[in-house]
Structure 1
Amino acid sequence: MRAHKALLAIPLALALAACGGGGKGDADDGAGAGKAGGGGRSATGTTVSVADSGLGDILVDGKGRTLYAFTKDKDAASNCDAECIAVWPALTSPSPAAAGRGAKASLLREAKRSGGAVHVTYGDWPLYYYVGDAAPGDVNGQGLDGEWFAVAADGKLVRKSA
C-alpha cells in the first residue's frame, strides 16, 4: 500500500512543481504571491494561520493549504529524508514565519535542514505540505500511514479522520 501511495505521489509532485503550487520551494508570502522553487518561501516570509476544516481548526499557510506534522519528528527536528520530502515538502521561509489569524506567534520557530533551508516549526513539529492536496482546504494527507496529521492551533496533532 505504501509503495502504491508513493507511486501515485510522484506524478502529483511533478504536476505541482510544474504549476508552482505546494511543492518544495514554493513561495508563500501570505498574500498568494510566490515563485516556484521554495516550499513556502518568499522575500517577506511565510504566514501560518488557522482555518476551519472538516477536522476542526487546523494550521494552514497564507494560501490556505493544510500543514501537517510527521510523528517520527522529535524535538522540532525533521526525520523526513529526501524520498519523504518528495511527497511531503517542508514549509520553509527565508525569514521568520509570521503568525496569522488564530496562530500563536510563541509556537512558531525555525529548524535548519540539511542544505541550509530553514524549516518552519510550530511547537515541537516541523511543518509540511502533502502533494496529494490539490487545493486550499484539502486534507488528503490526514492520518496517512498513521504518521501524518494536521496540526491544531495549540500545537497538538489532530488525530481525527478526514
Structure 2
Amino acid sequence: MNRLIIASAGLLGAAALVAGCSSSGSSSSKASTTPSTSSSAPAASSALHTQNSQFGQILVNSSGRTLYLLTADKGNTSTCYNACAAIWAPDLTTGTPTSSGVTASMVGTTARTDNTTQVTYNGHPLYTYAGDTNSTDVTGEGVATFGGTWYVVGTNGNAIVSSASTMPSTPAPSSSGGGGGY
C-alpha cells in the first residue's frame, strides 16, 4: 500500500507541475458559500470529536477520521493545495463547526484561497490523510512531505510527536510553486 501512496503522490506531483500550485492562504474566519473545489466536499457543519488511539486521545472528524496538522502552515493559514490537498484533504465546512469532548473555544475556521472554509483547532488548519483507510488509522503520523511534517492533533490542540514515524516520507512536487513551499 505504501508503494501505491508514493506512486499516487508522484502522479499528483506531476499533475501539479502542469497545473501550477498555490501556497498562499488567508486567515479570515468567514464561512464560504461557494462550492468546494477541493478533493472532499465540505460538511454543512463539520464536527470535531475525540477518539482513543495508540497516541492517547486525539481529534477526529464527524466520520471518525484522524485529524492532522502540518508544520509548514503559517498560523491558521493553510499551505496545502492541489497535489497536497489531494492526499491530505482539508477538513472543510460551510457552517460553524460543532464539537464534542474538545475545548469549544479552540474550534474555528479559516478561509482558503480556493474559496472554501477549513476547520481549525487551536489555530491549526486540520486535514485527513488518504492513507488512513479505517476510522481508527493514524498512518500519517510523522510523515514529512509538502514542506513540513504531519502530526496527529491531541485534544490540547498541539501536535502529538511520536518517537517513530509509522510510514516513510512521500515525495513532494519539486516545482517552485508546489504546495507547502515547494
Alignment partner of 1:83 is 2:83: yes
**Structure with higher RCO (Cα < 8 A, 6+ apart):** 2
- Corresponding residue number in structure 1 for 2:39: 24
CA RMSD between the two structures: 2.2
Q: Which contiguous aligned blocks of 4+ residues in structure 1 show a shift greater than 3 angstroms?
A: 3-6, 8-11
Q: 2:110, 2:119 within 8 Å by CA — same for their partners in 1?
A: yes
- After TM superposition, give the deviation of residue 6 of structure 1 in Å: 3.7
TM-score scaled by length of structure 1: 0.75
Hey, what's the Cα distance between the residues in 2 that align with 1:70 and 1:8? 20
Once the two structures are superposed, what CA deviation does each residue of 1:33-89 show, in whole Å capped at 9, x if it has no partner?
Answer: xxxxx0xx233x011011100011100011210000000012110011311111101
Structure 1 stretch 52-61 or stretch 138-147: which is displaced more?
138-147
TM-score normalised by length of structure 2: 0.67
Residue type of the alignment partner of 1:148: W
Equivalent runs, 1:1-162 vs 2, <5 Å: 5-9=5-9, 24-25=39-40, 38=41, 41-43=42-44, 45-100=45-100, 102-145=101-144, 147-160=149-162, 161=164
| Percent identity for Structure 1 against Structure 2 | 31
Structure 1: distance between partners of 2:75 and 2:51: 25
Bigger Rg, structure 1 or 2: 2
| Structure 1: stretches of 5+ with no match in the other structure | 12-22, 26-37
CA contact (8 A) 2:57 2:155 kept: yes
